[in-house]
C-alpha cells in the first residue's frame, strides 16, 4: 500500500502521510508521491484545494534518518528537492491539519501552506542544527520573516519545540482544534466553493513578494544541507539516533 494516501472529496484532495509505525518519517518514495500528487492537483481543474494530513497520532517525524544516511539528497534531481519545488510552486490553496510531532520538514513545509490548523497535541520542532544540518525548505528566510530574527535564531539554534498555542501566536497556524482535520476540511470545502481563478490569483498575489527570494534561498540552503549531510557532525547525530533505537 502507498505510504501517501490520496482521497478526493468534492474539490478537495487530501494527501495523508501513511507510515504511522515510523511516526510518518518521510522516505524518498513518499516525497515522490507527494510531488506527483501536488503536480497532478495543480493541473486538475476539478481540484480546488489540497489538504496535507497524516494517519496515526503524529504529523511526521521529518525526513527518514536511514534515508539521510543511505541516500543523502545531494542534487536538484532528488525526490526531496523536487517535493520542495512542488510545494513552493503549488498554485492552489494548500492547507494542513497537524497533530502530534511535526519535526524538521514537518514544520518547514507548513511555512508554504495557506491555512494550518493545529491539533491540541501538536508539537513543532526544527532541530536541524542539533543534527549537524541547516534549515531547509526556505525556512531560514520564511521563519525569521514570520516570527522575528531573535526568536527564529533561538528555535533553530536550540532545537527547542513549541506547541499549538505558540504556533498560533507566531502566525504559523491559524487555529487550534481537538479535531484539526475536520476543522481544516470545512475551510478547504469553503475555499473550494469560491471562483477558482480568483483563488489562484489571490494566492499568487499573496506569495508574489517572497517567491523568487524563497527559490534562491532554497537553492543555497540545499547546497549547504547536502554538504552537511555528509559531515562528521551529522553522521554522529544519526548514529546516536540509530543506537538509541537499538538499530
Ligand atoms: N527517521 C526514521 N525513523 C524514525 C524517525 C525518523 N526521522 N523518527 C521516528 N522514527 C521511528 C523510530 O525509529 C521508531 O521506530 P521503531 O519503533 O521501529 O524503533 C518509531 O518511529 C517511533 O519513534 P520513537 O523514537 O520510538 O518515538 P519517541 O516518542 O520516543 O520519539 C521523536 C519521538 C520524534 C522525538 C524521535 O522519534 C526522534 O527524535 N525522531 C527523529 C526526528 C528527526 O531528527 N527528524 C529529522 C529532522 S531533519
Identify whether 218 is part of a domain: no
Identify whether 227 is part of a domain: no
Whether the CB-CB separation of 111 and 94 falls below 8 Å is answered with no
Q: Whose CA is nearest to atom 41 of ligand 1?
A: 61
Nearest atom (ligand 1) to Cα of 237 = 44
Domain count, the chain: 1
Identify whether 216 is part of a domain: no
Tens-digit pLDDT string for the chain (247 aa): 689 999 999 999 999 999 999 999 999 999 999 999 999 999 999 999 999 999 999 999 999 999 999 999 988 899 999 999 999 999 999 999 999 999 999 999 999 999 999 999 999 999 999 999 999 999 999 999 999 999 999 999 999 999 999 999 999 999 999 999 999 999 999 999 999 999 999 999 999 999 999 999 999 999 999 999 999 999 999 999 999 865 4
CATH number for the domain spanning 31: value is: 3.90.226.10
Whether the CB-CB separation of 24 and 157 falls below 8 Å is answered with no
Residue 49's DSSP bridge partners are 12
Q: Whose CA is nearest to atom 20 of ligand 1?
A: 22
Identify whether 193 is part of a domain: no
Identify whether 147 is part of a domain: yes
Top mutation candidate among 18, 25, 28, 239 for ligand 1, by most atoms within 8 Å of CB = 25
- Which residue in 98, 150, 160 sits closest to 126, CA to CA? 160
- Which residue in 179, 203, 8 sits closest to 97, CA to CA? 179
- What CA–CA distances, in Å, run from 91 to 34, 112, 132? 15, 11, 33
**Phi and psi of 120, rounded to 5°?**
-65, -25
Identify whether 79 is part of a domain: yes
At a CB cut-off of 8 Å and minimum separation 6, what does 130 contact? 159, 237
Dihedral angle of Cα 193, 100, 18, 178, to the nearest 10 degrees: -40
Identify whether 118 is part of a domain: yes
Identify whether 86 is part of a domain: yes
Measured in angstroms, how far is the CA atom of residue 22 from the centroid of ligand 1? 6
Across the beta sheet with 162-163, the strand order is 101-103, 123-125, 162-163
Q: Which domain holds residue 86?
A: 4-180
Amino acid at each position: 500500500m502507498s505510504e501517501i494516501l490520496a482521497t478526493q472529496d468534492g474539490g478537495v484532495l487530501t494527501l495523508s502521510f501513511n507510515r504511522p509505525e515510523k511516526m510518518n518519517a518521510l522516505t524518498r518514495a513518499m516525497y515522490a508521491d507527494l510531488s506527483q500528487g501536488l503536480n497532478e492537483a495543480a493541473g486538475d481543474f476539478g481540484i480546488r484545494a489540497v489538504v496535507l494530513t497524516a494517519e496515526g497520532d503524529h504529523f511526521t517525524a521529518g525526513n527518514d534518518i536511514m534515508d539521510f544516511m543511505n541516500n543523502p539528497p545531494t542534487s536538484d534531481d532528488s525526490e526531496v528537492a523536487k517535493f520542495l519545488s512542488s510545494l513552493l510552486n503549488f498554485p492552489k490553496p494548500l492547507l494542513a491539519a497537524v497533530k502530534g510531532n511535526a519535526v524538521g520538514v514537518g514544520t518547514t513545509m507548513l511555512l508554504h501552506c495557506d491555512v494550518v490548523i493545529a491539533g491540541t497535541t501538536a508539537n513543532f520542532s526544527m532541530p536541524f542544527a542539533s543534527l549537524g544540518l541547516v534549515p531547509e525548505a526556505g525556512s531560514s528566510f520564511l521563519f525569521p520573516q514570520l516570527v522575528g530574527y531573535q526568536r527564529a535564531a533561538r528555535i533553530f539554534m536550540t532545537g527547542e519545540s513549541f506547541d499549538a498555542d505558540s504556533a498560533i501566536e507566531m502566525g504559523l497556524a491559524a487555529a487550534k482544534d481537538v479535531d484539526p482535520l475536520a476543522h481544516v476540511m470545512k475551510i478547504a470545502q469553503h475555499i473550494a466553493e469560491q471562483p477558482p481563478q480568483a483563488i489562484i490569483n489571490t494566492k499568487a498575489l499573496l506569495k508574489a513578494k517572497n517567491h523568487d527570494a524563497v527559490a534562491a534561498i532554497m537553492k543555497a540552503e540545499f547546497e549547504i544541507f547536502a554538504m552537511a549531510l555528509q559531515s562528521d557532525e551529522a553522521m554522529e547525530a544519526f548514529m546516536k539516533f540509530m543506537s538509541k533505537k537499538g538499530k
